[in-house]
Structure 1
Amino acid sequence: MMLRLRNLIASLTIGFFILMGATAQANDRSSVGKNPLTEDFASFVTETLDKWKVPGLSVAVVDGDQVFAEGYGFARLPDEPATPETLWYAASTTKAQTAATLARLINSGDHPALANGWSTTISSIIHDDFVLQDAWATEHITLDDAVSHRTGMAAHDKSYARVVEGKEAKPKDVVRNLRNLPLTTEPRLKYSYTNSMYTTLSHVIETVTGKWLGDVMKELIWAPLDMNSTFFDLQDANDAPHQLASGYYWDEKEGKYGEVPFMSVTELSGAGAIISNVLDYAKWVKCLLHEAPPFSKEVHKDIKSPRMLESTQPDIPNDIVTYALGWRRTLFKGHVMYIHSGGLHAYGAQVYWLPEIKYGVVAFANTATTSNAAEEILAWKLIQDRLGIPENERFDFDAKYQKFWNWLSSAADEAVDILYPERPNPPLPATVNTTKLQGIYYDPGYGRITLHEASHPNRSDEKILVTDRQEMTWKYQMNLHHVSGDYWIIYLPLLENPGYFTEFVAGEFKIRNDGKPVGLQVDWVNRVTDEVEGKVLFKKVD
Structure 2
Amino acid sequence: MVEWVTTPAFTERVNTLMRDFHIPGLSVAVLDGDTVHTRCFGHASIESDTSVDANTIFDIASCSKALTGVAMGILVDNHPKLSKLSWKTPVVELIGDGFVMHRVEDNDEVTVENLLSHTSGFSGRHDMSVLGINAAHPDNVRSVTRNLRHLPSTARPGEKYQYSNIMYAVATHIIETLSGHTFSSFLHENIFKPLSMDTTFLQPSEVYAADLASRFATPFYHENDTYHQATHQEVPEFQGAGSIQTTPSDYIKFIAAMLHHNKSPITQTIYDGVTRPRVMRNSKHSLDDFNPTSSAVAYALGWDIKYRSSQQIVSHDGVITGYGSSMFFLPDRRFGAVFIGNSSAAFGVCQILQSEIIDEFLSTPKEQRFDLSRGQLERQVAQEERKMKKLTRNRERRKQARGTLEVPAEKYCGTFFNAAYRGVTIEMQDGDLYIDAADRSEPFDMVLEHVKDNREFRGYITADDGRGEDGIAVEVRLDEKDDVVAVGFNWDPELGSKYFFWHERTAS
Deviation of 1:411 (Å): 4.5
Q: Aligned-pair distance for 1:88?
A: 0.7
**Structure-1 separation of matches of 2:184 and 2:467:** 30
1:111 Cα deviation (Å)? 3.1
1:45-56 maps to which residues of 2 (within 5 A)? 45-56=14-25
2:270 corresponding residue in structure 1:
299
In the alignment, which of 353, 364, 370 is matched to residue 378 of structure 1? 353
1:140 aligns with 2:112: no
Q: Is the 8 A contact 2:18 2:349 kept in 1?
A: yes
Query: What is residue 372 of structure 2 aligned with on the other side?
Result: 397
2:372 is matched by which residue type in structure 1?
F
> 1:509 deviation in Å?
2.2
Q: Does 1:107 align with 2:77?
A: yes
For residues 249-301 of structure 1, give each alpha carbon's deviation from its aligned partner in whole angstroms, at most 9, with x where no partner exists: 2241xx43221122112111111121111011111111112224222211111
1:225 matched to 2:195: yes
Corresponding residue of 2:397:
none
Q: Which runs of 5+ in 2 are unaligned?
A: 395-399
Which residue of 2 is the match for residue 364 of structure 1?
340
- Does the 8 Å contact 1:491/1:503 carry over to 2? yes
Shift of 1:118: 1.3
User: Quick one: distance in 1 between partners of 2:152 and 2:110?
Assistant: 15
Q: CA deviation at 1:429?
A: 4.9
Paired residue secondary structure (1:493): strand
Deviation at 1:137, TM superposition (A): 1.2
Cα distance in 1 between the residues matched to 2:52 and 2:106: 46
For residue 214 of structure 1, give the secondary structure of its aligned residue in structure 2: helix
* Cα 1:268/1:307, change in 2 over 3 Å: same
Task: Please give the alpha-carbon distance, in whole angstroms, between the structure 2 residues aligned to 1:136 and 1:92.
Answer: 30
Match among 477, 481, 486 for residue 519 of structure 1: 486
Contact 1:313/1:320 (<8 A) preserved: no
Which of 170, 173, 180 in structure 1 is aligned with 2:150? 180
1:70 aligns with 2:42: no
How many residue pairs end up in the alignment?
Answer: 489
In the alignment, which of 85, 99, 102 is matched to residue 55 of structure 2? 85
Residue 15 of structure 1 aligns with which residue? none
**Equivalent of residue 99 in structure 2, options 114, 130, 153:** 130
Is the counterpart of residue 484 in structure 1 residue 423 in structure 2? no
Answering whether residue 320 of structure 2 is matched by residue 344 of structure 1, we say yes
TM-score of the superposed pair, with normalisation by structure 2: 0.89
Aligned AA for 1:350? S
Q: Which amino acid aligns with 1:307?
A: R
How far apart are the structure 1 equivalents of 2:175 and 2:73? 10
Deviation at 1:412, TM superposition (A): 7.1
**1:73, distance to aligned residue in structure 2 (A):** 0.7
Q: Which moved more, 1:54-63 or 1:103-112?
A: 103-112
The one-letter code sitting in structure 1 at the alignment partner of 2:270 is V
Q: In 2, are the aligned partners of 1:412 and 1:502 still within 8 Å (CA)?
A: no
- 1:396/1:501 CA distance change after superposition, 3 Å: farther
Q: Check the 8 A contact 2:21/2:377 in 1, yes or no.
A: no
Report the CA distance between 1:451 and its aligned residue: 0.8
Greater mean deviation of Cα atoms: 224-233 or 382-391: 382-391
Deviates more, 1:200-209 or 1:485-494: 485-494
Aligned pair in 2 of structure 1 residues 85, 221: CA closer, same or farther (>3 Å)? Answer: same
**Residues 37 and 493 (structure 1), Cα distance of their counterparts in 2 relative to 1, 3 Å cut:** farther
1:444 to 419, 435, 440: 419
Change (3 A) 1:429 1:168: closer
Q: Which amino acid aligns with 1:142?
A: T
Q: Where does 1:386-425 land on structure 2 (aligned, <5 Å)?
A: 386-409=361-384, 410-411=386-387, 413-414=389-390
Per-residue deviation at 1:240? 4.2
Deviations 1:57-80 (A, max 9, x none): 111111121111111111112311
Aligned runs of 1:177-326 on 2, under 5 Å? 177-238=147-208, 239-241=210-212, 243-252=215-224, 255-294=225-264, 295-311=266-282, 318-326=294-302
Checking the alignment, whether the CA contact within 8 Å between 1:525 and 1:531 is kept in structure 2 is yes
Change (3 A) 1:200 1:412: farther
Indicate if the aligned counterparts of 1:164 and 1:173 stay in contact, CA closer than 8 A.
no
The answer to whether the 8 A contact 2:135-2:440 is kept is: no
- Measured after TM superposition, the shift of residue 312 of structure 1 is 5.2
Structure 2 vs 1, CA of residues 191 and 535 (structure 1 numbering), >3 Å: closer, same or farther?
A: farther
Q: Does the CA-based 8 Å contact 1:346-1:366 persist in structure 2?
A: yes
Q: Once the two structures are superposed, what CA deviation does each residue of 1:204-261 show, in whole Å capped at 9, x if it has no partner?
A: 0000010011111112211111111110132221234461111112241xx4322112
Contact 2:450 2:456 in 1 (8 A): yes
Q: Could you say if the C-alpha distance between residues 514 and 190 of structure 1 is closer, same or farther in structure 2, counting changes exceeding 3 Å? A: farther
The alignment partner of 1:117 has SS state of coil
Could you say what secondary structure the match of 1:465 adopts?
strand
Does structure 1 residue 536 correspond to structure 2 residue 507?
A: no
C-alpha deviation, 1:165, in angstroms: 7.0
State the distance in 2 between where 1:118 and 1:426 align: 53
Q: Which of the pair has the greater relative contact order for Cα pairs under 8 Å at 6+ separation? A: 1
Mean CA deviation greater in 532-541 or 93-102: 532-541
- 5+ long unaligned stretches in structure 1: 1-31, 419-424, 456-462
> 1:166 and 1:426 mapped to 2: Cα distance?
33
Kept in 1, the 8 Å contact 2:434–2:448? The answer is: yes
Distance 1:426 1:83 in 2: 52
- Counterpart selection for 1:466 from 400, 418, 434: 434
Is 1:500 matched with 2:467?
A: yes
Question: Is 1:60 the equivalent of 2:60?
Answer: no
Provide the rounded CA distance (Å) in 2 between the counterparts of 1:263 and 1:406: 27
Q: Name the SS for the 2:98 alignment partner.
A: coil
Counterpart code for 1:443? N
Letter paired with 2:151: L
Classify 1:469/1:426 alpha carbon distance in 2 versus 1 (closer, same or farther; 3 Å): closer
Seen in structure 2, the aligned counterparts of structure 1 residues 53 and 170 have a Cα distance that, compared at 3 Å, is same
1-side partners of 2:75 and 2:249: how far apart? 26
User: How far apart are the structure 2 equivalents of 1:386 and 1:531?
Assistant: 45
Look up the SS of the partner of 2:11 in the other structure: helix
Q: Does 1:157 align with 2:130?
A: no
Structure 2 SS opposite 1:405: helix
User: 1:435 aligned to 2:403?
Assistant: no
Structure 1 residue 55: deviation in Å?
Answer: 0.9
